[in-house]
Amino acid sequence: MTIEFQEDSAPMTETQRRAFPDGFLFGAATAAFQIEGAAFEDGRRASIWDAFCRVPGAVINGDNGDVACDHYHLYRDDVALMKRMGLQTYRFSTSWSRVRPDGGALNPAGVDFYNRLVDELLEADILPWLTLYHWDLPQALEDRGGWTVRQTADRFTEYALDMHDALGDRVKVWTTLNEPWCSSFLSYTAGIHAPGHYSVTEGVLAAHHLLLGHGQVIRELRARDESLNLGVTLNLTVADPVDPTDPADLDAARRIDGQFNRWFLDPIFRGEYPADVVDDIRAVHPEAIAALEEATKPGDLETISTPITTLGVNYYHGDYVSGHPATEEVAGGDAPTDRRAESPFPAADDVHWHDRGLPRTPMFWEVQPEGLTRLLKRVSDEYAAPAGVAMYVTENGAAYDDVVVERDGEKIIPDTERAEFVRAHLAATLDAIDQGVDVRGYFYWSLLDNFEWAWGYEKRFGIVRVDYDTQERTVKESGRLYSRIIAQRALDAESTAD
């Protein structure tokens, strides 16, 4: 594998600097299924995503994660590249299907891969930031009910403790779940992600059991080692009403905020589901709330609200919503697959998305950096700060249609739009810090171009390009910019201007 990397321009002067706080961490993120490949090597067995990729029409071009970025074999080169780019921390996930294939006995070969990866990171002076669940539930567990049944939370806890047994002497930052909204409502209600079901009841039950598994793992790991940095990562949005004086628009924003943000924030930080959202869902799907009430055992919410150290915030764009239809249909960011998709929101039939005129990526996601500032401030004020919980931006990124050009005999990827996206969102993060928000780090999504779920390999989020035919890595212009920012621990005044 060839790694191409180019140095960037001259350092900024002191008058240009907008410095990041001491100790602020700069990193990048990936997920096991999206980059590792080696899908059925060394004892790994099928996950729900291996199965879903083989459902006709579920993933663009019928793509799958069998090879992906071949990180399983190329991890040493990838860590060396991270070091050259100056990354201070690397957020990765461990594959449940590799470590405990079929949800069963421990697989030493799978554990050994992560032992070697962690050692390589530490040797490169890169902090390992481990996520236990990034959507790769063993298919055998899904066949037994998946996240809709309580037993999966218990199996998840066992798997987490196995990983701590193996890595706890070296890994000090543990994230339980990545984006449980996606692995519940997007997966069990909308049919868009694996396992691809269409049930509001299943989505509600999956969300509860994911949260229960999270709480159980936090409780068990805290009992083992009080010094651990323990947390969860949520994808969150800013839901803005089109007309803030219109009751219907205000209600639309409340519903999206409630079903996207508060359904997870409130149990974790307050030990309760938001009553207004429970009432919303009960009004249209009483069977779903009845199932949730039956599934919620005494002590569940106390377990779910076990104190955490860190909240990871994943932010890509906000939502501009109304109780009235738009004059023109606003396309969403879902992959245009051949498979039916339903709404992931159980009680939002009267919510309509509008266009506010912001720039959009080729996935039709709005580019809204100021939304990140407002989101961090709101979540800090209402949840994190009162609980003494630090916040990190654990994912933020954009897919653009990259073009490879030859310049002086070398490959160049002049992804100016992505570079500006990085600058603008780092500036928005600094804006939140200036407002007193305890934000301690930023992870770009993603380090590498990779398997982008239902989009397959159609969309590229990486600051490093991957040639899927040769596995060659080439740092893009955005990656070189990010490296410069890390080295100087500052943004220049011009780059942060609107």
b/e sequence 274-288, b meaning 16+ C-beta within 10 Å: beebbebbbeebeeb
Nearest to 480 by CA among 45, 2, 4: 4
Gap between the Cα atoms of 78 and 468, Å rounded: 15
Compute the distance between CA of residue 17 and CA of residue 26 in angstroms, rounded to an integer. Answer: 17
CA-based radius of gyration for the chain: 21
Q: Which of 36, 202, 366, 395 is catalytic?
A: 395
Is 395 an annotated catalytic residue? yes
Residues β-bridged to residue 442: 26, 393
* Residue 123 bears catalytic tag: no
CA 475 – CA 3 distance, rounded (Å): 8
Q: Among 120, 142, 179, 477, which one carries the catalytic annotation?
A: 179
From residue 489, alpha-carbon distances to 86, 399, 430, 478 in Å are 11, 25, 12, 16
Query: Cα-flanking dihedrals φ and ψ of residue 313, to 5°?
Result: -115, 120
Query: Whole-angstrom Cα distance, residue 264 to residue 261?
Result: 6
Burial 12-28 (b: 16+ CB within 10 A, else e): beeeeebebeeebbbbb
Residues that are catalytic: 179, 395
